Structure 1
Amino acid sequence: MADSNRTPKRGFFAKFLDFVERAGNKLPHPFMLFIYLALGVIGLSWLISLFNISFEHPGTGEVEQINNMISAEGLEYILSSMLDNFTGFAPLGLVLVMMFGIGLAQRVGLIETFMKKTILNAPKSLVTYAIIATGIMGNLASDAAFVIVPPLAAMMFYALGRHPLAGMAAGFAGVGAGFTANIIITGTDALLAGISTEVATTINAEAAVTPLDNWYFMLFSVLMLMFVGAWITEKIIEPRLGKYDPSLGEDDVTNQQLEEITPEKNRALRNAGIAGLLYSILIAFMIIPSNGILRGEDGGVVDSPFIANIVPLILFFFVIVAVAYGLTTKVIKSTRDVPEFMTDAMKDMAGYIVLIFAASQFIAYFGWTNLGAFIAVTGADTLTNLNFTGMPVVVGFILLAAILNLFIFSGSAQWALMAPIFIPMFMLLDYNPAFIQLAYRIADSTTNIITPLNPYVPMVLAFMKRYDKNAGFGTLFSIMLPYTLIFLILWIIIFVVWTMLGIPIGPGVGMR
């Protein structure tokens, strides 16, 4: 007689996910990871310096050696540069300034109401598209979208007689797999561009990556993710889940009603929209005329004050619409409320600031020792000698980043790890650092929804179990895996075709 208590045989994918979870859980906190890496750079600089290895610096043409940090000069640099490494780190100011505006909009309730409005007002036939688009756009609210969109999407699907887990999957796919895409410039653009610029200047002092440099491609990606995500949901996920059995869910979940947006919040959204439109018209008057004050000296837009100052302009936009919304809902009662909401939003950035302190030291040490340039030159020469310098090597980089994302969930932390190695190497192969940053963003987004190290995976699983008591990690990953694989494959194909056609990935930005 067979043993009824025998553990079911686990498949290869389930074992692989177990391995990812175990391996990832053994990684230290990202802050300590950068500390250990900085110590590793110090030790490696001493070891390589013993062999008097030299190389020609690609930026200056001068012969350079590895600078030893375990020396009087190295110790002095560690102590004297610590504050400058931190306060001068390009992403720090960019992100904090962006979060003043976006955080204010989030604290007054504008972003949450906008997301609910988009989903609740969508025609039934377009609900799936609206959910995924809202999830993608929700990265304006950073991680808050993970908490808002998936459960709201499940409720919407259930109210329409559709399977709530399919709605939750669509919402989670939009928020997680579409995290790096948007139709407007967000904090993610500023953060990644800052890290890319910080690293690129070690090869070319004049190199710069702006928050707009990936905009064209990411703008198109929103449409691609929305339509493909809706197709996956309706053609793969829902048929696989079948008809929902309400008896599997908790009573308070299956009996709850969707909360309608109040007339006051509707008026607030309208007023915020009007304020944002008026501001946009004002900016347009400074750009569209050939003699507009935000145009460049040559009358162009690509190299202009508009592009150079895009972050402050976006800050003002979010402050204006947030204040208009807050005044209407009476969340903002006096001028003192605005800085208090901004201060409250900055509390969420404390962990980021601490992380950046460690990351900035690691990147600075990598540059000062010349290890970054040495690895870049060696790697580029090796790839050139192997005749492996075209699009295949970029696709290989995407796949590598996608795999590493299973172990390092933080996109900024992972890019701070990878950029010092891969940006210089690819720049020596004549690739634009903004182009390599774009390749990384594709990889970073797609695997967000299947990594056990995503802190929102347990939360989404908890939501799922409220609708289906039998749901487990296997349920979640089996539902989300089609999004990851199809998004990744299709995104890579579009990336390759886009490049081959020579279409700019941002204003005036291409592959080379």
Structure 2
Amino acid sequence: MTDTTASTSVNKGFLGWVERSGNRLPDPVFIFFYLIAILIVISVIAAATGTSAAHPAEIDPETGAARIITAQSLLSADNIRRLWVEMPATFTHFHPLGYVLVVMLGAGVAERAGLFGTAMRAGVRNAPKALLTPLVVLVGMIGNLAADAAYVVLIPLAGIIFHAAGRHPIAGIAAAFAGVSGGFSANLLPGQLDALLFGITEASVETVFGDWTANIAGNWFFIAAMTFIFLPVIWYLTDRVIEPKFGAYDSSKADHEVDDATEDRPLTAGEKKGLKRAGLAALGVIVAWVIFTVGPGTPLIDETANPEARLTPFYQSLVAGFFILFLLSAWAYGAAAGTINNHRVLVKMMAGAMEDLAYYLVLAFAAAHFVAMFAWSNLGLILAVNGADFLQGFDLPAPVLLAAIVLFSGFLNLFVGSASAKWALLAPVLVPMLILLGISPETSTAAYRVGDSATNIITPLMVYLPLILIFCQRWQKDFGLGSLMAMMIPYSIGLLIAGTALIMVWVGLDLPLGPGAGVFTDPAAYGINPTGPAEAN
């Protein structure tokens, strides 16, 4: 990497403070372990002082009043025994674990077979010059289904394509980075992130209110709307704000030639054939799921349930559906493109996808125990009840309340980079608290996603930030981290404003967030005596 110390300064002002503060934080895995230690101390103090709350979902049969829940010490004999005896079950029963592993079995093959990379290249390389920016941004947001592939393929490719079109290559990198990372939660289809976040949401509901099944498509309509709201914001900022500052590109500032891995080469005959076959395979899976839903026997519809719950099997099947869609599409592509020659290669790619999740498994182990121990202490329920009472006292309209959650999530993202780690920290308190106020788990998840997405591109803890910096230095060798931050801050502010406005309007109009997922919920459906559901103003 080129030495940029002389040309850029990253240790002054607010950006320097954010960078230094973020670098002092430990790995998210150890953050959870430290939080567990803090949680133990708090639980001991809370139990000793008799901290309590009235359980909104349980009635004492003798008094007819709400049952009083008291804080439990995590150093009690029962909780110590539970920790050591139930450790395997605590880990394996962590809801996000199964969701993510299943979806990644298919998505990992699609990435390794080259389907995602080829599809992104095909989507942007022949774009008309006038539509180059929006197509790069749109492919970037959709490319989040490909996880890491969007960062390592599309972002450097966007610089090459912009340069070939006579535009500044770093502006292309900025647009792609804003689409991939700033639009992290925006997409036309649910994917891995939905499975991961709703798994945590489900666990957070169940620790307080008992069984509840997450709907992986619970934010589908909302994230699709985010895609079309974020697209013009990034387009305008790229063409009208960012690129004009660079002026004409000076090739003498380039560090070295672009490597062949990101070369803007035409698609081969095999790749074109593979994309066609992948499309047919994806269409076949969609048709199969339609038949399962409306065809003979309707296996994905519970005919015996009440109307609101009839589609529950369909929602529960979507994790498996995306696994099959990604897997068969990748296999069809790979067989035509020559990247999957036999079933042994396919199995090897699936195993490789699991290897990539090694860090996530370690993080999930720590997060699972934090979530479980939080539930054992009863502090989550007590905080939720008291927090709901506190917020209800302010009588905030639901749109304002959700906007506050967006801003808080965006601020926290500057210090804790992992989306799942942050949600695992916030959800055990936030989700039950908002349920008590009549706001659905899907809505709390959507608000979190807006804040988390908008500030991804300016946090020093973003794991791909050094890689993006290298991509920029290929075109301008003195481009430093401070330059990258300054370039991306307008995008972050624009996306935060647009996302906050979107969630406020969405909640205010009480629009469905996804199939079967509304903004508001009836606390009584969770066995709760309502404390006063929020009203949309």
TM-score range, shorter chain: over 0.9
Report % sequence identity.
Answer: 38
CA offsets 1:56-75 (integer angstroms, 9 cap, x no match)? 11222311111111121121
Question: By how many angstroms is 1:161 displaced?
Answer: 0.4
CA distance in 2, matches of 1:94, 1:12: 39
Q: Which position in structure 2 is the counterpart of 1:224?
A: 229
CA distance in 2, matches of 1:121, 1:284: 34
The farther-off stretch of 300-309 and 112-121 is: 300-309
Q: Structure 1 327/290 Cα, relative in aligned 2: closer, same or farther at 3 Å?
A: closer
The correspondence of residues 320-359 of structure 1 with structure 2, limited to 5 A, is: 320-359=328-367
Q: Which position in structure 1 is the counterpart of 2:216?
A: 211
Question: By how many angstroms is 1:302 displaced?
Answer: 6.5
Q: Structure 1 431/12 Cα, relative in aligned 2: closer, same or farther at 3 Å?
A: farther
Aligned-residue CA RMSD (Å): 2.3
The correspondence of residues 290-301 of structure 1 with structure 2, limited to 5 A, is: 292-297=298-303
CA offsets 1:309-358 (integer angstroms, 9 cap, x no match)? 11111111111111111111222222222211100111110000010001
Residue type at the aligned position of 1:310: L
The partner residue of 1:395 within 403, 411, 414 is: 403
- Does residue 1:150 correspond to 2:155, yes or no? yes
The partner residue of 1:18 within 8, 16, 19 is: 16
Question: By how many angstroms is 1:389 displaced?
Answer: 5.8
Compute the TM-score of the two structures, normalised by the length of structure 1.
Answer: 0.94
Q: Structure 1 247/303 Cα, relative in aligned 2: closer, same or farther at 3 Å?
A: same
CA distance in 2, matches of 1:333, 1:481: 45
The correspondence of residues 307-322 of structure 1 with structure 2, limited to 5 A, is: 307-322=315-330
- Does residue 1:87 correspond to 2:87, yes or no? no
CA distance in 2, matches of 1:204, 1:506: 22
Question: By how many angstroms is 1:411 displaced?
Answer: 0.3
Residue type at the aligned position of 1:210: N
Q: Which position in structure 1 is the counterpart of 2:443?
A: 435
- Does residue 1:41 correspond to 2:52, yes or no? no
The farther-off stretch of 316-325 and 297-306 is: 297-306
Question: By how many angstroms is 1:207 displaced?
Answer: 3.2
CA distance in 1, matches of 2:86, 2:285: 41
- Report the secondary structure of 1:59's partner residue: strand
CA distance in 1, matches of 2:393, 2:46: 23
The correspondence of residues 6-405 of structure 1 with structure 2, limited to 5 A, is: 15-60=13-58, 61-253=66-258, 258-288=264-294, 292-297=298-303, 303-388=311-396, 390-405=398-413
CA distance in 2, matches of 1:116, 1:278: 24
Compute the TM-score of the two structures, normalised by the length of structure 2.
Answer: 0.90
Question: By how many angstroms is 1:488 displaced?
Answer: 0.9
CA offsets 1:89-123 (integer angstroms, 9 cap, x no match)? 11000000000000011111111111111111322
Residue type at the aligned position of 2:53: F
Conserved 8 A contact 1:389-1:429? no
The farther-off stretch of 175-184 and 84-93 is: 175-184
Q: Which position in structure 2 is the counterpart of 1:3?
A: none
Conserved 8 A contact 2:28-2:363? yes
- Does residue 1:505 correspond to 2:513, yes or no? yes
Question: By how many angstroms is 1:19 displaced?
Answer: 0.8
Q: Gaps spanning 5+ residues in structure 1: where?
A: 1-6
Residue type at the aligned position of 2:124: I
The farther-off stretch of 476-485 and 273-282 is: 273-282
- Report the secondary structure of 1:273's partner residue: helix
CA offsets 1:337-395 (integer angstroms, 9 cap, x no match)? 22111001111100000100010000001001101111111211122223346332221
Q: Report the number of matched residues.
A: 506
